[in-house]
A and B are shown apart, each in its own frame.
Chain A
């Protein structure tokens, strides 16, 4: 065991197992644990890549392609940091093959660190999965919402726009009630209302009176030839 031959000369360059594990735990993606272990090229390579990502990340706001590249490299460094933690956990020697100094106390501490790492990693994975489900649901909801909007006949009849006086008043718009026939509605609005049939609140036609000073609006949904819903605003 490395702890039995620790005279002053050997301690000069002795590396401590727990210090290496702490660097892997807190600063995994930077590769500092590798630098400390003596894997200079690997460690410094990762370190400067990490610093480069931070610098490029700051200036990549206006460059989506660069931002994507930086993000991918950061993910790579993160995954490498996780894998490296497990690799280093099983390591007993430094890069020169010299045994790392590990006291029973440090070993106990490193074991706790390992458990905390596993717990945090599991929580992160669960969090990532929940986040993925949530955002995919949000995105699919948005997508279906936009498709529905495209199918709607959300229109302003042309004769409305051409009028320079009010086509219908606010009180006329408010008088449109559920169950009214289409003909009744058209007599109130003084014009055809088009084919706005649907069975949800998304399927409606909106009509606007033409006066820019006192604009009245009403949205109507028909079902089976009668008003399913009407909102004047």
Chain B
């Protein structure tokens, strides 16, 4: 019995009503990472729901924070935090073999293969996002520095 199927044992079959799918958890981590739904599904209720409500709170506060720069900054920081947490969590969950109740997650060979593709896609997406972030940082710093030097030039002219 290989590793991917070792999770499914006679014992787990008895308790299958509570068994959770590894692939479903990874799909939730992939598509809805910042919401913490993967943690909720895994059974980490308090951590999952905490992140879920924090995310919803950010959306609601984000709508009313247009006139409050301090609140907008806070919401932005929390959203960045949730995003980074989701990325870290994806890698943590990828290596997980059990749920919050220490029961093995159901993982067929097919599911393991799909999860591996998901993992590669996640890495590729993350790399592209990172490159885009660096490029936009360089671009905007160049724009800002040229604007800054331009305004200094103007003040000297006048």
Contact = CB atoms under 8 A, between A and B. Distances in A.
Contacts of B155: none
A26 B21 contact: no
Nearest to B13: A6
A170 B80 CA distance: 58
B23 interface: yes
Contact of A106 (B21, B108, B111): B21
Interface string B102-115: 00001011110010
B53 to A, nearest CB: 16
A113 to B, nearest CB: 10
B20 interface: yes
Interface stretch (B24-32, B54-62, B128-136, B143-151): B24-32
B66 interface: no
Interface string A104-127: 111001000000000000000000
Interface in A12-31: 12-16, 18-19, 22-23, 26-27
B60 to A, nearest CB: 15
B96 interface: no
B20 A105 contact: yes
Contact of A13 (B17, B32, B109): B109
B110 A13 contact: yes
Interface residues of B, number: 23
A11 interface: yes
A11 B8 contact: yes
B141 interface: no
Nearest to B107: A11
Contacts of B13: 3-4, 6-7
A104 B108 contact: no
Interface in B6-62: 8, 13, 16-21, 23-24, 27-28, 31-32, 41
Contacts of B114: 19, 36
A19 B109 CA distance: 14
A18 B106 contact: no
B3 to A, nearest CB: 12
Contacts of B8: 6-8, 11
Given A6-B8, A19-B21, A26-B27, 5 more contacts: A13-B110, A16-B24, A16-B106, A19-B24, A103-B19
